[in-house]
Amino acid sequence: MRAWRQTVWQRMSSEELEKYETEMELQLYREYRDIVRQFTYVVETERRFYLTNSVDLQVRNAAGEVFFEVTMRDAWVWDMYRPARFVKNVRVVTFKDVNVEELEKPDIELPRDGGTFGG
């Protein structure tokens, strides 16, 4: 994947590259906005941001070093360079902080198109 990015970037001017990355991030944000309500947890590591309904965080100790092992199933990954952002199984091992946050589920969902309830 890295080679592909380098090839694309070598052919683009810096302005074209900036426009391309801005469009990719906007597309990613729209995808996130459309699917976030399907998930229960947000998991943030030093490298990635995930949405998932199943997360297991374990604190491990090996040779006096503390690290975290995070396992997720059926996750969505915030990464604009991945061709597929839905991942069946994810395992992250890190010495850095891990943040797991439960998303708030509203009791009433307002219509997105500005319409009224029931019609």
What's the CA gap between 32 and 78, in Å, rounded? 8
Answer yes or no: is 79 within a domain.
yes
Answer yes or no: is 110 within a domain.
no
Instruction: Determine the structural domain holding residue 46 and report its residue range.
Output: 2-102
What percent of the chain lies above the pLDDT cut of 70?
78
> Looking at the 3D structure of the chain, how many domains does it have?
1
The neighbouring-strand residues paired with 72 are 55, 90
Q: Compute the mean pLDDT over every residue in the chain, rounded to the nearest whole number.
A: 84
Q: How many other C-beta atoms are found inside a 10 Å radius of the C-beta of residue 43?
A: 22
Answer yes or no: is 98 within a domain.
yes
pLDDT of residue 2: 56
Answer yes or no: is 92 within a domain.
yes
Answer yes or no: is 13 within a domain.
yes
pTM, two decimal places: 0.71
* Nearest Cα to Cα of residue 1 among 74, 79, 72: 79
Assign 73 a pLDDT band (cuts: 50, 70, 90).
Answer: very high
What's the CA gap between 20 and 18, in Å, rounded? 5
Answer yes or no: is 112 within a domain.
no
